[in-house]
Chains A and B, each alone.
Chain A
Amino acid sequence: MSTIPINTQESPPFLLDLIYRLKVKDVMTKEVITARKETPLRKIQHIMKEKGITGVPITDEEGKRIFGIVSMDDIIRALDGGYIEESAERWMSRNLIVLEDDMPLQFAISYLDKFKYGRFPVLNKDRELVGIITSRDIIIALLVEVNKEVEKLEQQIVQPPSKPGEEAWLLYNIRKYDFENAGKASAGIKKLLIERNIDPKTLRRISIAAYELEMNLVVHSDGGTLSFRLGQDRVEIEARDRGPGIPDVEKALEEGFSTANEWIRSLGFGAGMGLPNAKRVSDEFSIESRMGEGTIVRTVIYLIVPP
């Protein structure tokens, strides 16, 4: 069986920090389903099926003192050996490997690597059963934490410090075919401009340019970024993608020329109007494209500066 490759010193510092920062008690399942010594194995088999679990600790009445554990393997052996109707006491695994609730999660991960068990009972300082931890619990906890961290990292990209002479700067990551979120970047840009009291006609042109470029990224690119800079007298919008590149830029600027497929058209896009329309509403417009590398579309719209 392969080992879980996040316990080594080669793992990213964030992950190492995470598995030492998180305690077993932060990750474990606290509602432990237990059985008594006299519970028949057949009953335990039914509990496993009903609750969707693969191991049942055998405890005292209060569920605090643990004597052993009956795993799915024990049940299979009991069915095989014909003693499934017998009580847990005789057949439970007594060779218990337990974790302490204050241990770093790192211990649980190395135990999963070291021992063949799929779950470990968790005890507190008074040796009372307080939880149970499985590889599933660990996966969920790690994914939740990693997601939080990635979100933080992405936000750092989205809100860079503004430079002198620049009123605001927004950067959005746009994913290919992500129609669910398509248009959110443009809506964010529009919202910011409404707060700045940009005149409605200019606002409309900026919004259209942003939306067309955003939809272009969603429909045609392999994903990229949409950046927006608000200066004193101008707005710059730049769509930068990771490919595939436009083979014939002049052709892409012809109205009605489109490479979109049927299902994109069925969503109301891909009529071959995007780039020409973005150009129409812009004061400055440029495209750079390299096949296999990507495309950068830049538009500038001048703001009406009060004298």
Chain B
Amino acid sequence: MKLETVVEKIPCTVVVKGKGFDEVDLRSIVASDLMSDVLTTVDDRFLIVTSLNSEQVIRTADIVGAPAVLLVNGKQPQNGMVRLAEEFGITLLSTPLSTYKVCYLLGCLLEAT
């Protein structure tokens, strides 16, 4: 599933456009507010869905090789988070929707592609 498709179909704003934004192909979705859990994921190239808006989310994404982070519940990223996303080339999105709603929509999208 293309990251571009996510941005197109899910109501969200692009806070930081990461490296190779147009080409990023997502293999799966990981929804969690515990970065400890994200770090145990075996896959890479996934979208992190979280309501945690700290720098450590971006650091975790970089470590596990996740190209994008989607903040839910209308959470605004902290300044440090934006700076770090720019530095690491990670796409940062924000949506007013809840984790459940977003995951449902992403599931439908993933099925369709």
Give chain A's interface residues, CB within 8 Å of chain B: 179-180, 182-183, 186-187, 190, 200, 204, 207-208, 211-212, 215, 265, 267-274, 277, 280
B 41-60 contacts with A by CB, 8 A: 44, 50, 52, 54-57, 59-60
Task: Report if B63 contacts A (CB, 8 A).
Answer: yes
Residue of A nearest to B59 (CB): A183
Measured CB to CB, the nearest residue on chain A to B52 is A268
- Do A190 and B39 touch (CB < 8 A)? no
Q: Which residues of B contact A186 (CB under 8 A)?
A: 59, 63
Interface flag for B40 (CB, 8 Å): yes
- The SS class assigned to the A binding surface is helix
Other-chain residue from A182, A183, A215, A273 in contact with B40 (beta carbon distance below 8 A): A273
Asked if B109 is at the interface (CB within 8 A of a chain A CB), the reply is no
Query: Which residue of the partner chain, among A179, A180, A208, A267, contacts B39 with CB atoms under 8 Å?
Result: A208
- B: residues with CB less than 8 A from A are 33-37, 39-40, 44, 50, 52, 54-57, 59-60, 62-65, 80
* Cβ contacts under 8 Å, A207 to chain B: 62-64
- Which of B50, B54, B57, B59 meets A187, CB within 8 Å? B59
Measured CB to CB, the closest approach of chain B to A208, in angstroms, equals: 6
Q: Are A273 and B36 in contact (CB under 8 A)?
A: yes
- Please name all residues of chain B whose beta carbon is closer than 8 Å to the beta carbon of A271 when the two chains form the complex: 34, 36-37
Query: In the bound complex, do residue B36 and residue A211 qualify as a contact, i.e. CB atoms below 8 Å apart?
Result: no
Q: Of the candidates A204, A212, A270, which one forms a contact with B44 in the assembled complex, judged by CB atoms under 8 Å apart?
A: A204
Contact of B35 with A268 in the complex, beta carbons under 8 Å: yes
A190 near B33 (CB under 8 angstroms)? no
